Chain A
Amino acid sequence: MEQSLRDKLDGLDTIVGVLMGGLAVQLHPIPGPVPVVQVSIEGREELPIYVTCSDSQILCLCYLWNDSEVLAERRTELLETLLDLNPSVPLSSFGRVGERYVLFGALALNARPADIAEDIAALSDNALDALEALSEFLQ
């Protein structure tokens, strides 16, 4: 499985770099029970994208913030904003995994590296935009 994810991501760093206007992109596998590859984009190292895959799909995830960082008095407003915003964000959706808010994109298992790269570039841009737009809800 690990090997198959790496095969799928073959050449991804180069394609993402080209898509993002020549930025340096690095891939690092993350050890663990499920295949995960970290994608670091030059200048945005604090907001890496993680790619993982199950038997049915490829998921690209960007962790935005933790529940504990949300201003308690504006929590409901933030959640409603995320729901409202969701359909407008191209290729990415908001979600939460445990304590962490995420922006993610899902692709079919047979997606080509170019499709995955496009999703990652969109995800990175969307995450940065979303973080900036929604930082008023955070401590």
Chain B
Amino acid sequence: MSMIKKVVTLLRGSAREIAENVVDANATRIYEQEIIDAKQSILEARSSLADVMAREMQAGRAVTRLEGEIAHFESLALEALNKTQEALAEEVAGKVAALEQDLEEQRKARQSFASQVSQLKELIKAAEAKIREHEREIAIAKTTESVYKATQSISDNIGHSGSRLASARESLERIKQRHEHLADRLQASEQLDRELGDKALASKLAEAGIGQDANRQRQVMERLRARQAKPTDDQ
């Protein structure tokens, strides 16, 4: 059974059962052993592969060499025939026949090495796929276990600390209120800065004799002097 299928089956049970059963110690051990075995067989296959590929190359070189020699001796045999040296041509033909036998053997060997190479490559590919698959299965099991166990620890921790978990709505409200409070405070402090800034500016202007505040005293004095000059106006 695939690990995801197993988790789906376990999901029908309780969270605690999932945490406790998803990593089946026995199955995990088997997977881990199979991973170790597969890694070992890859190592061995890689080392044989290098050896077999070297032999394939050697056979290939022998084939090329033999083909060259055969062509060489065949042309010598032809030359002997042309010079009506039948016996000599016969002797060279014997040599060519022996070389042809060697060539055939080397070709067979090269063919056999080539097929061994492809077999070993297939074997490595299969072992690597197996490792990936088992590692993924173990990862699914262990991740599921750790998520459920972590959730259990977190619940237990909240239980021990005595603080009850607030509902999501309550949490959201509290966070929002705090943010609003923060935003209000920011706004208030900006306003305060502005006001203080305004006052500072106004007093600087007054000191420089600019604006209404600057000549307020003078205006009052002028009004008083005007009243003093014409005291009867008011009566």
The residue from B18, B139, B146, B166 contacting A52, defined by CB atoms under 8 A apart: B146
CB <8 Å contact, A32 and B150: yes
* Residues on A with beta carbons closer than 8 Å to the beta carbon of B147: 52, 59, 61, 97
CB <8 Å contact, A131 and B154: no
* Residues on B with beta carbons closer than 8 Å to the beta carbon of A100: 151
Instruction: Find residues 63-110 in chain A having any chain B CB closer than 8 Å to their own CB.
Output: 63-66, 69, 97-100
Instruction: Find residues 25-59 in chain A having any chain B CB closer than 8 Å to their own CB.
Output: 30-34, 36, 38, 43-44, 46-47, 50, 52-57, 59
CB distance from A108 to the nearest CB of B (A): 11
B205 within 8 A of A: no
CB <8 Å contact, A131 and B157: no
B149 within 8 A of A: yes
Total inter-chain residue pairs, C-beta < 8 Å: 102
The residue from A57, A99, A139 contacting B15, defined by CB atoms under 8 A apart: A99
Task: Compute how far the CA of A25 lies from the CA of B14 in the bound complex, rounded to whole angstroms.
Answer: 34
The residue from A33, A36, A64 contacting B168, defined by CB atoms under 8 A apart: A64
Q: Which residue of B lies closest to A106 (CB)?
A: B143
- Contact digits for B165-184, partner A, Cβ 8 Å, 1 yes 0 no: 11111111011101100100
CB <8 Å contact, A55 and B142: yes
CB <8 Å contact, A139 and B167: yes
Q: A59-B143, A139-B169 are in contact. Are A33 and B149 (CB under 8 A)?
A: yes
Question: Binding site of B, secondary structure by majority: helix, strand, loop or mixed?
Answer: helix
Task: Compute how far the CA of A70 lies from the CA of B25 in the bound complex, rounded to whole angstroms.
Answer: 36
The residue from A36, A64, A128, A139 contacting B175, defined by CB atoms under 8 A apart: A128
Task: Compute how far the CA of A135 lies from the CA of B169 in the bound complex, rounded to whole angstroms.
Answer: 7
CB distance from B25 to the nearest CB of A (A): 14
* Residues on B with beta carbons closer than 8 Å to the beta carbon of A97: 15, 147-148, 151
CB <8 Å contact, B148 and A46: no
CB <8 Å contact, B168 and A59: no
| Interface set of B (CB-CB < 8 Å, partner A) | 14-15, 18, 135, 138-139, 142-143, 145-154, 156-157, 165-172, 174-176, 178-179, 182
| Interface set of A (CB-CB < 8 Å, partner B) | 30-34, 36, 38, 43-44, 46-47, 50, 52-57, 59, 61, 63-66, 69, 97-100, 128, 131-132, 135, 138-139
- Contacts A/B (CB < 8 Å), 19 sampled: A30-B150, A30-B154, A31-B153, A31-B157, A32-B149, A36-B150, A52-B146, A52-B150, A53-B146, A56-B135, A56-B142, A57-B143, A64-B168, A65-B168, A98-B15, A98-B18, A100-B151, A128-B172, A139-B167
